[in-house]
Structure 1
């Protein structure tokens, strides 16, 4: 009987400690957001030495309604020396015409188009980028996904954070202001859940890197075989960041969040992305199976309210409701910090989007665990423990 009681109290203590730790994550994220995001920087003219050149690698596949405008922002950046390296796998892809139109429109910008890719591993993104990576002539390389929209000073901001000890500067994922509930749903996720973990991890110097917009010192990758060395992984961004930190380099978040601006925005497609990311995390870090569901607001609140009733004889229902209310308020505050301006939706839409996000994430995570196969466009992959991927279905020909 005593052993069962000790076990009961042991679990209760664990849940209360974990609950307290998650609130520390909330606080750290708010501090980091206030301290680091949207900071004014020195202008280019204030640098005593010339700014380094940057090779911008843009892997592309297909066209969406916002792609032309997104790509055009890379031609209008206020930065003295950079080249644009566009990568397209299929020579029949309609994106080729769009890129050529932009190259003709901005002849003063150095731009090169690479078609066909080079198979160096299972990762299709790396295969697509490999020729451009090998041809990159500058010491800094920016890998930027197709859906990213840049401000005129974004690249300058990222270079500003590239110090002697830093080898990787990445933008925290966020979204542009777009219309519709699906867009609000995405913005709420990236401005709360994703930002919370990203900012807290940056404060604690934990690798939480997402490679949708990442500036790297090229020689640090070349030392371990270049970009192709990470072609065995689908989550290449996590593993090249890990390679850098393992060798003593620092990674840091820039002050401007990455503005995702895909022209296709739907709740079901975004939830598919969430499931895919969850599958990658589980394969890379098996402890995710336990810790990630436990860190969710509704799940953690249930365990913590039970623990509070066991340890302190507090009313579990009142504790649970207060927990949810405080979590909601912290998330609203963090989203406002990340947005740094008026939100494109009202508070009722935030409540609906926040509830949908919090209620569905544990279910989406369970789906990811039960079905570990990953579909990326027309390919299907199986992940081994440690993150190594193998293709289990050949590319579909149309």
Structure 2
């Protein structure tokens, strides 16, 4: 482990998981909580989206390997795929679960217990370093590939493939920043706990010339994200509830003015035919009226000159029948009844 980038060593071996008795186990509670929270975050939807997008990058690279293998941007995609494969081999979740399982079940400052050695804890920190720097490498390859394929897109070259590839790279870069930020947060919380773990002098994981960084900086956020965070949230005021009683009071207080009845215009009144009772002055006039109205009612629709168009069919037939029955014995009474019926229905 003399290499400066020892966290990226393919031959890095995990030290044997040995536990030693310690008198104070209170610090292990916080370690257990932060590791458990990070493992839960690895199963969230954004982590699954990262895995699916990484698989899509690999399939796109394999599909266009012969067509774009000499392009600089495609070489960046190949480097990106290599970093994703390296991240897949890292398997940080497995190492964290093994270390979490070695922590004592009950942690208290007055209670002793078996605690993993410092070498095992430093191995976890080195794995976090590798996880963090691999995501940094992934974002660098994403930027390099996106710059090249964006230029192709501007020149209208390979529009469909280029658009899909840029979208996948952008999504991968965003999700990589999220995971790198979570790993940096976990590392910053675990790093101060190194001195609390028991150390075996003959079994040191780190060499004398190697030292773990004191802190990892989360990835820089873009301008859009920073501007979004700095913008204060808009607080929506709740709507005022107005009861029916309050509505009635408001209506009573409101000045609605004077209601004016609108009369029909003279032109409209002139167009509408008016009914005159004098057309039913005699029995002969009534018979002519019945004949004329019966002919008009047969039309569909009845014309405006048909005064009885709004009278129901059964009522009109009943009025005719009654008029014919009374006509032979009492013609004046028949005419009077029929006239009253027509006047009441029309006016």
Shorter-chain TM-score category? under 0.3
Higher helix share: 2
Rg larger in structure: 2
Higher strand share: 1
TM-score by length of 2: 0.21
TM-score by length of 1: 0.18
